[in-house]
């Protein structure tokens, strides 16, 4: 997809602390700035790094090959080791079950220097993540125990990880997958249904940049949830064409990981129904249709486009 000039994201500035050489997307540079941090119930807060191919670091990390493994890839302007959203997801998973929680940290590549570079880097970061999974499987893990989750650009990292593994991941979850500079046609670069047995996608800020939106407006998974219509979230102000009341959709965009985090241990759950449009959902025309829980507790048996409404503040599940 080629965006018109007025649609190009304004992330192409360079800071005084970065050189032009750093803007080049070279695999060695990306690899040097991609890290995998692991937390378990036995080590819930200590920062421990896994290194692909390094058996010693794996043995010393506390990783348990017999446990479920959750891998999370962050988005633009985030990191994977002290970001609040990432740490909250980690804490909820460790509260829910005994598991390995691995964070993909590519913060230096995803930080506000050049969005174009971040897009290009996401593909390579995804490949390295897939290589890590292959290494863990070689060391005795079972592929069916892996679930890879990604937010924004990280959703495409997750997708590329799924495309790289030897075999087929059981599940990849995309949280408001980034849309600028991606296209429906180029499935090699973006998250798509070939990346796992089951791909679930949560949309909270769908549309294009002219609509102050940051994520895919189309359904790209086996099941897609369009929360509150998928474009603007309650409590985030109004998003109108040409208006920037939601700081280019930042609030609505970041609701996706908030909803997912809440879903991990929610006593209520985010109940959604199969429906063709948000308008029909609001009218109650789909109330008798198939229902599904959005987020972590999804059944993995439902397919199609689902709609749901939420509260405007936490707890969001109605």
Known catalytic residues are 152, 176, 253
What is the SS3 assignment for 142-175?
CHHHEEEEEECHHHHHHHHHHHHCCCCCCEEEEE
The residues facing 50 across adjacent strands are 36
Report how far residue 151's alpha carbon sits from residue 73's, in angstroms, rounded to the nearest whole number.
6
The residues facing 146 across adjacent strands are 69
Structure tokens at 135: 């290494």
Structure tokens at 111: 């930080």
How far, rounded to the nearest angstrom, does the alpha carbon of residue 115 sit from its chain's CA centroid?
A: 17
Nearest to 263 by CA among 289, 231, 304, 292: 292
Report how far residue 168's alpha carbon sits from residue 144's, in angstroms, rounded to the nearest whole number.
8
Cis peptide leading into 141, omega within 30 of 0?
no
Residue matched to tokens 């089951």: 198
Structure tokens at 3: 């965006």
């Amino acid at each position: 997809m080629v965006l018109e000039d007025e649609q190009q994201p304004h992330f192409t500035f360079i800071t005084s602390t970065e050189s032009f050489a750093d803007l080049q997307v070279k695999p060695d540079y990306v690899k040097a700035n991609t890290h995998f941090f692991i937390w378990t119930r036995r080590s819930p807060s200590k920062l421990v790094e896994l290194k692909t191919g390094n058996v010693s670091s794996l043995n010393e990390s506390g990783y348990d090959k017999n446990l479920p493994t959750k891998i999370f890839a962050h988005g633009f302007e985030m990191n994977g080791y002290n970001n609040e959203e990432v740490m909250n997801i980690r804490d909820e998973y460790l509260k829910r079950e005994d598991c390995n929680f691995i964070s993909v940290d590519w913060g230096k590549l995803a930080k506000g220097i050049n969005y174009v570079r971040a897009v290009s880097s996401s593909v390579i970061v995804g490949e390295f993540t897939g290589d890590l999974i292959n290494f863990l499987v070689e060391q005795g893990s079972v592929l069916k125990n892996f679930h890879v989750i990604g937010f924004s650009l990280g959703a495409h990292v997750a997708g590329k990880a799924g495309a790289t593994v030897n075999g087929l991941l059981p599940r990849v979850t995309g949280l408001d997958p980034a849309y600028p500079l991606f296209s429906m046609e180029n499935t090699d670069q973006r998250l798509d249904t070939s990346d796992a047995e089951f791909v679930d996608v949560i949309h909270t800020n769908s549309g294009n940049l002219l609509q102050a939106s940051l994520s895919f407006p189309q359904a790209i998974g086996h099941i897609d949830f369009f929360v509150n219509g998928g474009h603007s979230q309650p409590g985030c102000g109004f998003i109108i064409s040409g208006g920037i009341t939601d700081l280019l959709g930042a609030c609505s965009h970041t609701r996706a990981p908030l909803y997912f985090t809440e879903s991990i241990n929610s006593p209520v759950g985010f109940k959604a129904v199969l429906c063709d449009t948000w308008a029909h959902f609001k009218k109650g025309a789909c109330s008798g249709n198939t229902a599904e829980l959005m987020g972590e507790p999804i059944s993995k048996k439902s397919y199609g486009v689902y709609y749901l409404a939420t509260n405007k503040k936490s707890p969001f599940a109605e």
